[in-house]
């Protein structure tokens, strides 16, 4: 799919996010179609400016009626491959990598869709704006006696948020390029996946934090000029050949 293909299949959206059903409050009416989606992503990743159609598509799940005009499944597929590539590069270049480490198991655990949805999707506030349809009866959503944390899991929020996280990364990669996606992975995503249970193994935490600092830290901007991008990308990802001796044993 080309960079601008999404423009042919997406339409200005007028439907509201069904996430407001959980809280019981009516959704706000956006100033104009899709502005709420691009506005949210622009606020998360300044100074990037997301096209209206792209923002609406990456934040529309296949379960929502608006998915008829385009949803985020393809961007989610691209984004997951992007995340896997960046994580594998970090692991392969780490001096802490041992032959006993199972790279695929680590990648599967760190980039688990539910884990991404809970720790990244919630932090990014995607549940407030994304369009999706909960797989649960409306009466259960209105039951105030139910535990809210369990309810969010029951309705599939973390799964849908996880898909949205990978879709956002896929959209960033396609719209703004690999250097920008690489920086966001190391500064806005991986540092929040250092949890003791389910996250990146502790022996690789220092590698992740060093890469984050080299690329501007968690408060740095999302865009890089070309020269800075090339220099910092090389610093953040040392050559795997430096660890070749470790891998041979």
Q: Considering the entire predicted model, what is its pTM?
A: 0.74
For the chain, give every domain's residue range: 7-248
Q: pLDDT tens digits, residue range 14-49? A: 344 444 444 455 454 444 557 899 999 999 999 999
The two structure tokens encoding residue 141: 């959503």
Instruction: Write the class of the CATH domain 7-248.
Output: mainly alpha
Helix/strand number for the chain, H first, E second? 14, 0
Collapsed DSSP state (helix, strand, coil) of residue 60? strand
Is 60 exceeded by the pLDDT of residue 199?
yes
pLDDT in tens, 110-136: 999 999 999 999 999 999 999 998 876
Q: Which of 70, 108, 84, 69 is nearest to 170 (CA)?
A: 84
């Amino acid at each position: 799919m080309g960079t601008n293909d999404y423009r042919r299949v997406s339409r200005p959206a007028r439907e509201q996010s069904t996430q407001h059903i959980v809280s019981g409050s009516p959704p706000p009416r956006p100033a104009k179609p899709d502005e709420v989606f691009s506005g949210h992503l622009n606020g998360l990743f300044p100074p990037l400016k997301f096209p209206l159609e792209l923002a609406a598509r990456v934040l529309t799940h296949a379960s929502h009626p608006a998915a008829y005009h385009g949803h985020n499944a393809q961007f989610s597929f691209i984004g997951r491959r992007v995340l896997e590539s960046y994580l594998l590069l970090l692991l392969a270049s780490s001096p802490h990598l041992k032959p006993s480490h199972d790279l695929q198991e680590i990648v599967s655990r760190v980039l688990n869709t539910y884990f991404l949805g809970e720790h990244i999707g919630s932090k990014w506030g995607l549940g407030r704006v994304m369009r999706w349809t909960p797989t649960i009866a409306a009466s259960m959503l209105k039951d105030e006696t139910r535990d809210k944390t369990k309810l969010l899991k029951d309705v599939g929020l973390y799964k849908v948020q996880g898909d949205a996280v990978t879709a956002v990364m896929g959209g960033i990669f396609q719209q703004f390029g690999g250097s920008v996606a690489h920086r966001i992975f190391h500064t806005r995503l991986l540092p929040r996946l250092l949890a003791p249970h389910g996250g990146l193994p502790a022996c690789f935490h220092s590698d992740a934090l060093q890469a984050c600092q080299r690329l501007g830290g968690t408060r740095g901007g999302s865009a890089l000029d070309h020269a800075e991008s090339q220099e910092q990308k090389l610093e953040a990802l040392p050559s795997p050949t430096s660890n070749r001796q470790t891998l041979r044993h």
